[in-house]
A and B are shown apart, each in its own frame.
Chain A
Amino acid sequence: MSTKPRDWADDDDLEETTQTEQLPPPQTIQNKDGTKTTITYRYNEDGQKVKTTRRIRLVTHREVVNPRVAERKNWPKFGLSANDKVGPQSDTTSVGENIIFRLSTNWKKDTKEEAKESATDALKDKLKDKTVKCRICNGEHFTARCPYKDTMAPVGAEGAADVAAGMGDEVSVGAAGAGKKGSYVPPAMRAGATGGAGERMGGKFGERDDLATLRVTNVSEMAEEGELRDMFERFGRVTRVFLAKDRETGMAKGFAFISFADRTDAVKACNSMDGYGFKHLILRVEFAKKAA
């Protein structure tokens, strides 16, 4: 026990399986460094004998207090507190959560920057989950920027579908969703809901590939999608990981696509992951080319 260095506050539980009738008397040993070691024995619930060794250091903390203040601490309580016990009562006194209080000469500037940062972060977070979608043609832009703003009624409005359909291929997906007439169409149902999820996903691929999808080649056969996700998630929010696998063997084919929510994150990932060694192979990372 005394051979290895130990923290004085550590408890030492030593269990002995052999049951003896008599417990040894508690021991107190005075150590050289001013600490005391006490050893006590007891039986636990399972009838096993437990030896507890405690090293105790007594520190006398002396504080000089105004005698009047010291006297007041011993005053009996009165009024509504007359029946209270010694010490703070839980019904009137509680401890609040910790407040970080740091004084700073340019406090105003600091907090302003913080607020600004958090505001942009919040906005970014919000937008990450959403793709911008036009209410008029379902294109990837704000409604206000829509080229058909003046000529078309919003999706879902009477007759919008026909006009949109005649407008060209760009709006065809949206127009299909808009065929369902109603006052409000939830976003999840707007496009592709009637045509099935697969169609919508397919339609989305082209757009996504453009924006922030990386093609990763020379991936090890043993790679897993989760590993890739972990690797790329460091650069930003990853929306999709696709690892091509052999249908029969289940082994990776050696390439993967990683889609990011944010193009800037994708650029970062592309720059730093290209040439990264992963499972004995050197990854090659580039932006995915648009499918023909």
Chain B
Amino acid sequence: MRPILLSGHERALTQIKYNPDGDLLFSVSKDQVICVWFAHNGERLGTYKGHVGAIWTVDCDPSNTFIASGSADNTIRLWEIKTGRLLKTWEFPTAIKRVEFSPDGSQLLGVTEKRMGHLGTIVVLNINPDVDAEQSDEKELTIVCDESKATVAGWSYLSKYIVAGHEDGSVSKYNAKTGEVEDNLPVHELNMQVTDLQWSPDRTYFITASKDKTARLIAVRDLQILKTYPSDTPLNSACITPKKDYVILGGGQAAMDVTTTAARQGKFEARFYHKIFEDEVGRVRGHFGPLNTVAADPNGKSYASGGEDGYVRVHHFDKGYFDFQYEVERELARKQQQA
């Protein structure tokens, strides 16, 4: 497996995201530039310039027309993917830590930072699917997180709920129409921040990564913990691979401690766990800083990781990855073949 190194950023990566078709890869970093790459060969298609602060988050809409980005310059910006044109800027009192389009693309949520007397909030904006249309300034919904600020959030299946991970290690479920809290459960250790939340392809369950060194698979319906993936390092990101039943975790000790340890001890590896059996099945080395973000290709053919070292590494899986099976899986396949 030869990874493709994308070196378009000058500072630490903050998030990477595949588009729903899996052919484009968006990367954002603290250097204020959004890059879009072709996932199959690592060719850079373009950059989106306009933000004047570190960019924390990016998301692509389901129609592959827009991307939204949230930045420390207190704005969410909407861009046209094809041309790099800035379509809309929404201003907020504090930095934006996470954006995500709803599954139908009609709405966009943004998580705002708690700072300078402002509480952390989750805002929902309406999106006009026409590229040339004027986007509205109105906020459809504002959820105020008065207990513990939200760090990550996303839409569940059918845009029914908004699920958010909090700084105190809890996960809560809001009604996406009314903004009411329906559930709040402490899934990670107390005051261990939830650092990432990524969805299964059908959005009925999700994976959270946390500073408490575990990642957990959680069902949307009742926020029950389905699976736990323990590791030996604080985690920054986790994702679920389509096609094969794995999860990929990325982490490494905090960026501020990096210079004091060797790369080997830093644990800057992407870890593969079996989604069902919770066993660690492999690791991929390569970064020389903690992994800030991992993303799985919706087609299941590759995955990408972005590190504090400023590199994005795109890995296209070998045949061995697809062939690997547990003994029980192999048996099941055999039985199904006979039946």
Contact = CB atoms under 8 A, between A and B. Distances in A.
Interface of A: 66, 68-69, 72-73, 75, 77-82, 84, 87-89, 91-108, 111
Contact of A92 (B44, B285, B315, B324): B44
Given A69-B21, A99-B1, A77 B45 contact: yes
B24 A79 contact: no
Contacts of A101: 1, 282, 284, 315, 317-318, 320-321
Contacts of A66: 21, 23
Contact of A79 (B6, B46, B321, B324): B46
Contacts of A102: 282, 320
Given A92-B7, A93-B5, A96-B4, A79 B282 contact: no
List of 7 A-B pairs having minimum Cβ-Cβ separation, nearest first: A79-B47, A78-B46, A93-B42, A103-B324, A79-B46, A78-B84, A96-B3
A81 B23 contact: no
Contacts of B286: 96, 99
A103 B84 CA distance: 39
A108 B327 CA distance: 17
Given A75-B45, A88-B41, A96-B2, A105 B23 contact: no
B36 to A, nearest CB: 8
B275 interface: no
A82 B38 contact: no
A88 B42 contact: yes
Contacts of B44: 77, 80-81, 84, 88-89, 92-93
Given A78-B84, A103-B272, A107-B283, 6 more contacts: A78-B45, A80-B8, A80-B47, A81-B45, A93-B7, A99-B1
Contacts of B41: 87-88, 93
Nearest to B324: A103
Contacts of B48: 79
B24 A72 contact: yes
B45 A99 contact: no
A69 B317 CA distance: 20
B318 A108 contact: no
B4 A93 contact: yes
B177 interface: no
Contacts of B46: 77-82
B6 A92 contact: yes
8 contacts: A89-B43, A93-B4, A93-B42, A99-B2, A102-B320, A105-B327, A107-B282, A111-B283
Nearest to B7: A92
Interface in B15-53: 21, 23-24, 33, 37-38, 41-49
A284 to B, nearest CB: 49
B281 A107 contact: yes
By CB atoms of chain B within 10 A, which of A79, A80, A98, A104 has the most? Answer: A79
Contacts of B280: 107-108
A107 B48 CA distance: 41
A75 B38 CA distance: 11
Nearest to A87: B43
B106 interface: no
Contacts of B279: 105-108
Contacts of A75: 45, 82
B31 to A, nearest CB: 11
Given A66-B21, A68-B64, A95-B5, A103 B320 contact: yes
Contacts of B7: 91-94
B313 interface: yes
Contacts of A99: 1-3, 284-286, 315
A284 B37 CA distance: 69
Contacts of A69: 21, 23
Contacts of B47: 78-81
A264 B47 CA distance: 63
Contacts of A77: 44-46
Contact of A103 (B3, B49, B282, B315): B282
B6 A95 contact: no
Contacts of A89: 43-44
B260 interface: no
Interface in B259-317: 272, 279-286, 313, 315, 317
A102 B315 CA distance: 13
A84 B2 CA distance: 24
A105 B282 CA distance: 9
A78 B82 CA distance: 8
B267 to A, nearest CB: 13
A69 B39 CA distance: 11
Contacts of A88: 41-44
Nearest to B313: A96
A6 to B, nearest CB: 30
Given A69-B23, A78-B84, A92 B8 contact: yes
A78 B320 contact: no
A229 B320 CA distance: 42
